[in-house]
């Protein structure tokens, strides 16, 4: 059995998003049905719609989902009707490979099932994301949202938050560590907040001097203008960890020089080739590392949400109605948002009335 729901979809590459009716399955035994209240707007959404990444059309984006449980399958034990919950970037995985057994479903060897732009592992139907009235997800991939956390501002935690939390935890950032963040956007602003919450000394690398006041408001202790060679040289051998959120081709060499012995720079924002020649001498001579990271497993994401609930950490958001999504995409291309758009899905329900 299925239920017809309303969403917003891109019918083809670069086509404007528009109202789209489609079917959601009725809950299976282990499923949770969620009425979507808010959905964050991620750069991944834009990349898929604009053809930067391969996509399945029609495409209903959205993987920063906050909502309330409306139905549960007969085998569900973790959630009940009325619970406030979240769904992030994935809704299933094989559950039996080594990464899955370690709670690292994001690295599933068979490939995890994405919240949108993927296919259901059981009936092979296309997955549709959070720009819609409701979603049905296995309880294993549903997250509890702590009481007291502002729901609309919590939505970006499901992607931007966990994308930066996962490397902070993997590299065991603790009080007194020196952490730097490259880029102040959706990912960068969350990296600053979370690193500061963990007790680190936090520095922002930016090309723009005018971002200093906002960086300090978010929790940064220092700002380094990355185009200023003297400033960069003055901070050589300083940082234990650098979270690199830049989503386009850039030169890593100047940042590697600022890593301390055993330090690591972790790429979380860019997927693709970095054609600039890499000088390996600083890596070899000081055991420095270049690494990558993507979101986090379900247990780690819940840990992040609980941490944010305890410390009152949420994203800086600008609320929009669903009918303004195409305008929001244009503004995202110009980096004209501080720091994440979130759709009030009540605006979609108005289309039904």
Q: What is the pLDDT of residue 2?
A: 86
Residue 196's alpha-carbon distances to 32, 90, 340, 351, in angstroms, are 34, 27, 19, 41
Q: What is the pLDDT of residue 272?
A: 87
Residues 261 and 313 in one domain: no
Residues 252 and 264 in one domain: yes
Question: In a 3-state reduction of DSSP, which class is residue 39?
Answer: strand
pLDDT, tens only, 286-295: 999 999 999 9
Residue 236's alpha-carbon distances to 172, 197, 205, 259, 292, in angstroms, are 22, 25, 13, 7, 22
Full domain range(s) for residue 97? 2-159+296-352
Q: What is the pLDDT of residue 274?
A: 85
Q: At what angle do helices 160-170 and 186-197 cross, to 10 degrees?
A: 40
Lowest-confidence region among 21-30, 118-127, 269-278: 269-278
Q: What is the pLDDT of residue 331?
A: 97
Residues 225 and 310 in one domain: no
Average pLDDT rounded to a whole number, residues 54-81: 98
Residues 169 and 206 in one domain: yes
Residues 304 and 265 in one domain: no
Distance, CA of 276 to CA of 191 (rounded, Å): 25
Non-local (6+) Cβ contacts of 10 within 8 A are 16, 17, 48, 49, 57, 58, 59, 61
Cβ atoms < 10 Å from Cβ of 146:
16
The pair of structure tokens assigned to 267 is 């790429």
pLDDT, tens only, 254-265: 999 999 999 999
Residues 235 and 336 in one domain: no
Q: What is the pLDDT of residue 277?
A: 85
Non-local (6+) Cβ contacts of 353 within 8 A are none
Cβ atoms < 10 Å from Cβ of 10:
26
Q: For residue 275, what pLDDT band results from cuts at 50, 70 and 90?
A: confident
> What pTM did the predictor assign?
0.96
Distance, CA of 66 to CA of 155 (rounded, Å): 6
Residues 66 and 17 in one domain: yes
Residues 36 and 108 in one domain: yes
Q: What is the pLDDT of residue 290?
A: 97
CATH number at 216 reads: 3.40.50.720
Q: Which residues pair with 69 in a beta bridge?
A: 34
Q: At what angle do helices 298-311 and 160-170 cross, to 10 degrees?
A: 100
Domain closes at, from 292, 319, 344: 292
User: What are the backbone dihedrals phi and psi of residue 67, each rounded to the nearest 5 degrees, phi first?
Assistant: -165, -170
- Answer whether 249's CB lies under 8 Å from 272's CB: yes
Number of domains in the chain: 2
pLDDT, tens only, 140-165: 999 999 999 999 999 999 999 999 99
Q: In a 10 Å sphere around its CB, with 0-12 CB exposed, 13-18 middle and 19+ buried, how is residue 54 labelled?
A: exposed
Place of tokens 């935690």: 157
Residues 141 and 257 in one domain: no
Non-local (6+) Cβ contacts of 198 within 8 A are 168, 173, 174, 175, 177
Residues 252 and 302 in one domain: no
pLDDT, tens only, 168-226: 999 999 999 999 999 999 999 999 999 999 999 999 999 999 999 999 999 999 999 99
* 275 against 182, higher pLDDT: 182
Q: What is the pLDDT of residue 1?
A: 78
Residues 197 and 343 in one domain: no
Minimal CA–CA distance to 245: which of 198, 293, 278, 288?
293
CATH number at 332 reads: 3.90.180.10
Q: What is the pLDDT of residue 352?
A: 62
Q: What is the pLDDT of residue 125?
A: 95
Q: What is the pLDDT of residue 241?
A: 98
Residue 353 has pLDDT above 80, yes or no: no
Residues 335 and 281 in one domain: no
Q: How far is CA 339 from the centre of its chain?
A: 12
Domain closes at, from 292, 307, 336: 292
């Amino acid at each position: 059995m299925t239920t017809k729901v309303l969403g917003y979809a891109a019918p083809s590459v670069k086509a404007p998003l528009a109202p789209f009716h489609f079917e959601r399955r009725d809950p299976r035994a282990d499923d949770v049905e969620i009425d979507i209240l808010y959905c964050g707007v991620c750069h991944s959404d834009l990349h898929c719609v604009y053809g930067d990444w391969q996509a399945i059309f029609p495409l209903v984006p959205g993987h920063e989902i906050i909502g309330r449980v409306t139905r549960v399958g007969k085998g569900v034990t973790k959630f009940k009707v009325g619970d406030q919950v979240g769904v992030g970037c994935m809704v299933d995985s094989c559950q039996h490979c080594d990464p899955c057994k370690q709670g690292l479903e994001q690295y599933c060897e068979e490939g995890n099932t994405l919240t949108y732009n993927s296919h259901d592992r059981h009936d092979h139907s296309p997955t549709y994301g959070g720009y819609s009235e409701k979603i049905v997800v296995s309880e294993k991939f549903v997250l509890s949202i702590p009481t007291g956390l502002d729901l609309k501002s919590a939505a970006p935690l499901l992607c931007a938050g966990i994308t930066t939390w996962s490397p902070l935890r993997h590299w065991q950032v603790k009080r007194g560590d020196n952490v730097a963040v490259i880029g102040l956007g959706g990912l960068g602003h969350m990296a600053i907040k979370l690193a500061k919450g963990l007790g680190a000394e936090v520095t922002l690398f930016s090309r723009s001097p005018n971002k200093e006041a906002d960086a300090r408001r978010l929790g940064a202790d220092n700002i380094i203008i990355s185009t200023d060679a003297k400033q960069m040289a003055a901070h050589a051998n300083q940082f234990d960890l650098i979270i690199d959120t830049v989503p386009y081709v850039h030169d890593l060499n100047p940042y590697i020089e600022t890593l301390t012995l055993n330090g690591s720079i972790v790429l979380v924002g860019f997927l693709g080739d970095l054609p600039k020649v890499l000088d390996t001498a600083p890596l070899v001579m000081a055991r420095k590392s270049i690494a990558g990271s993507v979101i986090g497993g379900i247990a780690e994401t819940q840990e992040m949400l609980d941490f944010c609930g305890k410390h009152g950490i949420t994203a800086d958001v600008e609320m929009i109605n669903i009918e303004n999504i195409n305008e929001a995409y244009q503004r995202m291309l110009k980096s004209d948002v501080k720091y994440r758009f979130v759709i009030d899905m009540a605006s979609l329900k108005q289309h039904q009335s």
